[in-house]
Amino acid sequence: MLTESELIQIRRDLHRIPELGFQEVKTQAYLLSFIHELPQEHLTVELWKTGIFVKVDGKAPQKTIGYRTDIDGLPLTEETGYPYASEHDGHMHACGHDFHMTIALSALESLAHQPADNHVVFLFQPAEEGPGGAEPMLQSEPMKQFRPDIIFALHIAPELPAGVVSSRPGLLFANTSELFIDLKGVGGHAAYPHLTKDMIVAGSFLVTQLQQIVARRVDPLDSAVITIGKITGGSVQNIIAEQARLEGTIRTMSPEAMKAVKTEIEKVVQGIEVAHDCSATIDYGANYYQVENDPDYVEKFAAIANDSGVTYQEASAAMTGEDFGYMLKEIPGFMFWLGVDSQSGLHTSRLSPKEEALSIGARLVVNGLRQL
Ligand SMILES: CC(=O)N[C@@H](CCC[C@H](N)C(=O)O)C(=O)O
């Protein structure tokens, strides 16, 4: 096992070089340099785009256990003030993938020195934040050779203390779909609105009407989220905007609910086109399938956690998304939250996970890989 200070050093090295999905070139090179330093006799390594598959042959294999880590960062400017803050302007590991990778490398190091009974496959997966690497990695040529019988993964949880992990049988994370709506009208002089089709006004109505879908079209005992995170449009204060663009995300508890919410969005957008005499296009971008945990493996994992000196708690389902859901759709397994005790949450510029959680996660993952 790597020491605490080795884990921290790796995490900080990776924290400095966040890269967006399918651009993880330095990250892949860093991971490969670590992997190449390990004893190679039990390892098979294969590259896939900016990702990596690594198989560790087992001593008396009956099955293959998979472990997946995501490797990409987010388009966000870091404000932690860390001496080891991101060296890539406007990019940050603000979702913990630096932690995820470090823990995977530590487990790999342990198994490369002392293999498990079963075969173990590590998937270093690009583009979790978008456009989604899990689904194409699952369908890739190398996956035919590396495909595991069981798979698991973790995600850091800022709100949980270090030393606590949580998960649940069944649905852990939501179905997600990105949402991009482009509106096109007629621009003109700010003093002559009657001669224009103002897309700032149309876009503003659209944002509020989209909220009505969750409030008035979704069963209150079911759940959904429509968030518009970004609006752009117009050029200056005294010109009526010809164009506006809304960017957001949809979250639901089932694929059926996702389909129904999208139908409602399309109706609302058609209404805006009529009411504001404009044209609109909708693009759903990347879509992720729900993370559905296998109850038997969650139960086994909870016992392994408790035996490893880590407190296991039952989680609630969350509206976060994860393209790992595609892997769990085809391969039984689970995902769990690893407590890292950060005041600032996921996708914030001050996310500050406690590094003591690295060794806890590393110990637990390697125990899972040896015992599941
Ligand atoms: C764990 C986490 O935060 N995951 C992301 C996944 C992004 C999905 C996609 N790009 C979207 O925005 O819909 C999340 O935002 O939940």
The model's pLDDT over 72-118, given as tens digits with 9 standing for 90+, comes to 999 999 999 999 999 999 999 999 999 999 999 999 999 999 999 99
Do 133 and 179 share a domain, yes or no?
A: no
Rounded Cα distance, 72 and 369, in Å = 23
Q: What is the pLDDT of residues 205-260, one digit of tens each?
A: 999 999 999 999 999 999 999 999 999 999 999 999 999 999 999 999 999 999 99
Q: Which atom of ligand 1 is found nearest the CA of 95?
A: 3
Instruction: Check whether residue 230 and residue 243 sit in a common domain.
Output: yes
Q: Is 78 in the pocket of ligand 1 (CB under 6 A)?
A: no
Q: Is 38 in the pocket of ligand 1 (CB under 6 A)?
A: no
152 vs 328: CA distance, rounded Å: 8
Residue 221 to residue 241: CA distance in whole angstroms:
40
Nearest by Cα to 316 from 158, 167, 155, 160: 167
Q: How much is the average pLDDT of 13-27?
A: 98
Burial class for 139, CB neighbours closer than 10 Å (0-12, 13-18, 19+): exposed
Indicate the top mutation candidate among 246, 249, 289 to test ligand 1's pocket, ranked by most ligand atoms within 8 A of CB: 249
Which of the four pLDDT bands, split at 50, 70 and 90, describes residue 296?
very high
Adjacency order of strands within the sheet including 64-70: 43-48, 51-56, 119-125, 64-70, 150-157, 333-339, 164-167, 311-314
- Please report the pLDDT score of residue 1 as a whole number: 85
* Same domain assignment for residues 122 and 93: yes
Residues 251, 300 within the same domain:
no
Domain of 273: which CATH number?
3.30.70.360
Number of structural domains (the chain) is 2
Q: Are residues 275 and 297 in the same domain?
A: no
Residue 155: partners with Cβ closer than 8 Å, 6 or more residues away: 96, 100, 320, 322, 335, 336, 337, 338
pLDDT tens-place string over residues 34-69: 999 999 999 999 999 999 999 999 999 999 999 999
Domain membership of residue 231 as a residue range: 175-287
Say if CB 295 and CB 168 are below 8 A apart.
no
- Looking at the structure, do residues 300 and 265 belong to the same domain, yes or no? no
Q: How far is the CA of 116 from the centre of ligand 1 (A)?
A: 33
Q: Are residues 307 and 348 in the same domain?
A: yes
Closest ligand 1 atom to Cα of 176: 13
Q: Are residues 35 and 157 in the same domain?
A: yes
Task: Retrieve residue 254's tokens.
Answer: 């089932």
ipTM over 0.90: yes
Two structure tokens written together for 48: 């896939």
Could you tell me whether strands 64-70 and 51-56 are parallel, antiparallel, or unpaired per DSSP bridges? unpaired
SS3 assignment, position 98: helix
Within this chain, do residues 142 and 179 fall inside the same structural domain, yes or no? Answer: no
Q: For ligand 1, what atom is nearest to the CA of residue 131?
A: 10
Q: Which of 369, 366, 363 lies closest to 162 in space, CA to CA?
A: 363
pTM summary value: 0.93
Q: Which of 350, 314, 336 is nearest to 100 (CA)?
A: 336
Q: Are residues 327 and 298 in the same domain?
A: yes
- Which residue owns the Cα nearest ligand 1 atom 6? 321
Please compute Rg for the chain using Cα positions. Answer: 23
DSSP 355: T
Q: Is the CB of 45 under 6 A from ligand 1?
A: no
Same domain? For 279 and 297 the reply is no
Would you please indicate which residues are annotated as catalytic (active-site) residues?
70, 129
Shared domain for 118 and 50, answered yes or no, is yes
Final residue in a domain of this structure, among 287, 312, 336: 287
The type of residue at 220 is P
